[in-house]
Amino acid sequence: MALRAFPISTKSGISAAALVVVLILGALLAVMSRAETGAGFVSSDWNALRFTVWQAFLSALFSTVLAVPLARALARRRFVGRGILVTLLGAPFILPVIVAVLGLLTIFGRSGWLNAVLAQAGLPPVSIYGLHGVVLAHVFFNLPLATRLLLQGWQAVPAERFRLAAQLRLTPWAVFRVIEAPVLRQIVPGVAALIFVICLTSFAVALTLGGGPRATTLELAIYQAFRFDFDLGRAALLSLVQLVVAGGAAVIALWVLPVISLGGGQDLPQRRWDAHGGVQRGLDGAVIVLGAAFLVLPLMAVVLRGAAGLTQMPPAVWAAAGSSLFVALISVLLLAVLALPMAGWIASKRAGGVEAIGLLGLSASPLMIGTGWFILINPVMNPADLALPVTALVNALMALPFCLRIMVPRLRDTVQDFGRLSASLGMQGWPLWRWVILPRLAPQIGFAAGLTGALSMGDLGVIALFADAERVTLPLQMYRLMGAYQMEAAAGAALVLLVLALGIFWACDAMGRRYAAA
């Protein structure tokens, strides 16, 4: 039945969307006004562009290709701890980048665990800096994401098909060709595109593991032009290039971007009758052990090293932790104010074209927006005074596309199921939100808020542009400690940051679930 007059007001949704557009376009215009095209693109800029695309391509390639056997093994094996492992696969997405980098450095760094083992065996040490370090870190973040998305696809395959395959006694190769390959063909392009886009705007990884003429991303080049040379013209020019590259890729990814789910139902493996052979079982086991080790060891390293470093942290770390908490909370509030009305607007429309506005956040790089707003604020007041609010705002914008993906499907269902009832009761405006939409969406809102809080907590991006000596967030403080080679203190800060980021995620998520269950 065609619905008329569903009572969600679209006015606030349109206003929120307009605000997002203004915030991003305002930054873009400011950047364009300062971009000195006359200065031209020098060879180091070309290098940055080439490196940005190349590392994103490699990261997407390795993440996706390695995720296929891992997701396959997880989809068809039952073992103790499988549920925990699948949950852990969600962790890197909300893990502060700088924390993960410290974990990776502890394992793969110059005096890390791997090189200690290699030295024992009399082999030459490996270095984590440069292209392979950047790609390694990106794979660490995105392999679990890709695995989860692939696993979702795998588990959406109706059980009847595997039953049929068992009855027909299909060989492993035939099962792959008939059942699994079509699934992969459907999901892999979207997953790879998503990771490619995410890695294009990577900053913190390149800042810590890259650098130099051969391993600088555009995002890092913007930062360097800005911070070291205070060359606003060049920063603006690079920002424009970044916008074209990342924006173009994001527009393409928009059509293939997979749905981000709460991960419900992934805890139970499907009953399978194929792949009982010893070789396959052994291979799956090895893949799972390797995947789990790659995921768990760096995290363990952070915890072990951090516990030892807690006593050596300067008091500035606690002040920075306070600032970070403040930034994260403001981000969550801003997100709620922006995302809820936008989701309401999108969900009451049949086609999802409006969602593209939310995706603007994904295409515009944080440093581009930061540069733009620095240019706008600079003549009026000291940008450092606004470092924390601007960081909170940009972080909320960055989380917006993911949060819309989380909330809109559920809101659509709510409109479908309860729109007529609400309308026939004359519910609209605040009562409609208070009594229908917010309670129905509580788990999704909690999850989205937790995601935003954790991402904002761990973000090392815009703050690096704006901050001065006093106004720092915890990730930046930690980066400064690492830069000063106070690795033990940095490890302590990493542990604090890890606990705060995971804690804020857990708190929001649990609140949403509890509210829904009450």
Partner 1 sequence: MLRLEGVEVVQGAFCMAADMALVQGRKYAVIGPSGAGKSTLLGALCGFVPLAQGRLFWQEREITNVDPGARPMTMLFQDNNLFPHLSVTQNVGLGIRPDMRLGKPDQARVAQALDRVGLADQADKKPGALSGGQQSRAALARVLVQARPWVLLDEPFAALGPALRNEMLDLVQDLVAENNAGLVMVTHAPEDVRRIADEVVFVGAGRAEAPKPAVALMENPPPELRAYLG
Chain positions contacting partner 1, by CB under 8 A: 1-5, 7, 417-418, 420-421, 423-428, 430-431, 434-436, 439-440, 516
C-alpha 236/C-alpha 376 separation (Å) is 12
C-alpha 166/C-alpha 160 separation (Å) is 10
Output 8 or 462, the one with its CB closest to partner 1. Answer: 8
C-alpha 295/C-alpha 328 separation (Å) is 25
How far, in Å, are 12, 133, 291, 370 from residue 192 at the CA level? 35, 19, 18, 27
Residues 6+ apart with CB under 8 A from 95: 141, 299, 458, 498, 501, 502
Helix intervals (H) in 201-274: 204-209, 218-227, 232-256
Output 429 or 483, the one with its CB closest to partner 1. Answer: 429
Nearest approach in angstroms of CB 425 to partner 1 is 5
Nearest approach in angstroms of CB 347 to partner 1 is 16
Nearest approach in angstroms of CB 442 to partner 1 is 8
Output 174 or 438, the one with its CB closest to partner 1. Answer: 438
Nearest approach in angstroms of CB 444 to partner 1 is 13
Element holding 409 (H helix, E strand): helix 387-424
C-alpha 215/C-alpha 339 separation (Å) is 36
SS (H, E, C) 32-86: HHHCCHHHCCCHHHHHHHHHHHHHHHHHHHHHHHHHHHHHHHHHHCCCCCHHHHH
Nearest approach in angstroms of CB 410 to partner 1 is 13
How big, in percent rounded to 5, are the helix, strand and coil portions of the chain? 80, 0, 20
Nearest approach in angstroms of CB 515 to partner 1 is 9
Nearest approach in angstroms of CB 422 to partner 1 is 8
Output 12 or 47, the one with its CB closest to partner 1. Answer: 12
Are 288 and 470 within 8 A, CB to CB? no
- How far does Cα 50 stand from its chain's mean position? 23
